[in-house]
Structure 1
C-alpha cells in the first residue's frame, strides 16, 4: 500500500479487501535493466522514496494494439543464469505467454517476452527476507509489483520498458505491508464487473472484538504508466479471525492466481 493512502484487495481469496498508500544464484549476463523515468504527478497515496533503476537497454515497441501485435523487438539479452522464473500472461500485446524472473546476481526483476526481449529493473528494496514480484495486466496497463515483505514498489510495463508511476506527491508510488506503517497493510487485485483486473491497496483493520475487517482502495495506473492515483475505498463488510487466510493475504502482495518469482531470502 502506498505510504499515503491506497489499499489493495486480496484476489487470492476472491474477496474484495481493503486500504493502502504511496523486492543468488549464478552470475547473470548483462540484462536490460530499465529504470523508471516517471514524469507525471497523480493523486493518491504518498509513495516512498525508493526504487530508481538505471536502464541499460530496452527493446523498441512495435504494436499499440492489445493482442495480435508483433510485440517487443528481440534484444539478445537472456534471462540471467540461475534466476527464479514463472510463466505469466502476455505483456507486449502478442497474445503469447511471457516469463517473469527474479535474479540475485545482480538483484533485479524483469520479464522475457515470447518475441525475445528481456527487460528488467533493479531491486532497490532493503528488507532482509524474500524479495518477490508478480506481473499482471490491468484494464489500462501492465503492472509489476515487487516486495520485500515490508514494502512493495509499483512499476508499469509500457512501450517495452518499465517505468515507475508517481503519486500525487511526485514520488514513486509504493505500498506498505504487514503493519510496517500506518497507511495500509497489503496490495492485491480485484475485478470490475466486466472481469477486468484492478489493482487495490489493502488495509486489515483490527476491531474491538479482536477480529479484522479488510478495506480496499482502488489504485488507478495511467495507460502511459507515469502516474498512479487512489480511487474509491471500499469498506469491508465481513470480519475475519486474525489467523485467517484473508487477513494473512491482506498483509502481503498478491494478485489472485498470478504467479510470483522471487529470491531465496539470502
Structure 2
C-alpha cells in the first residue's frame, strides 16, 4: 500500500465498473495520467466474480502490445482491494457517441468497424474470444472522433485452440449470439455477431432485436427475422445491409470471420 501511495495519486472518480469505481490518477514518477479500477474484495460476490477479474488481468497481459486493446500498465493487491492501473481513454465510449450522434454516417461507422475488426481479428489469431462486445466496452483514446479505439473489459473472455468450441451463457442481452442463447457450444464468431449488432445500432440508432426484458430480447434474437424497416434503412446502402446480414447470420459456418468483414466491399469502399 505504501508503494501504491508513493507511486500514484488518485484524483476524481470518472466511472463505475462491474466490480467497483474507476478513478483518474497520476503516476507520480512519470507524470502520466492513467485510469485506475479500484475493486473492493468484499464486493466480489463469489468465486466466479474473482475468476472473472483475474481472467481479465491474465488476458490483458497476454494481449498487451496491440494498440486496439486497452493497456494494463500496473497492478497492485492487498487483503482488501485490487488496483488496476490502465491506459486512460479520454474520448469516452461508443455508447456515449451513439447517444450523442443518434446515428452514424456510413463512413464514420465503417472507420469504427474496421478498427474494431482489426483488433478482434488479432484477438482471435491469439486464441482469445472477447464474448462481451458492446458499445460500452469500445473506448476512444482521445476526444477527437477517429479510428483510435480500444477494446476493454475482458472479464468474460475465453481462450481457445483452433477448431475448439467454447460453452457457457455470457454476454449482454442485446449483443449475445443466437447459438449462445440456444445453449450450444460455440466458437469465436460470437464476437462477429456482437459486432454486427453494434454496426446495426450505429447506423440506425435502434437494436435489431428488441424487448422490454432480457428474456424478451433473448426470444427476439432466437425467433425474429432480421429486418431493415424503411425508417431509417431506406437511405442506408444495400452494401451496409449485406454486411450486417452476413455478420448476423444464424448459420455460423456462413457467418463472416473478422478478416472477411475487413474484406467486405462496404468496409473497403468507405475506408479508402
TM-score, normalised to structure 2's length?
0.25
Q: Which has the higher strand share?
A: 1
**Looking at both structures, which has the greater relative contact order when contacts are Cα pairs under 8 Å and sequence separation is at least 6?**
1
Q: Which has the higher helix share?
A: 2
Computing the radius of gyration over CA atoms, which structure comes out larger, 1 or 2? 2
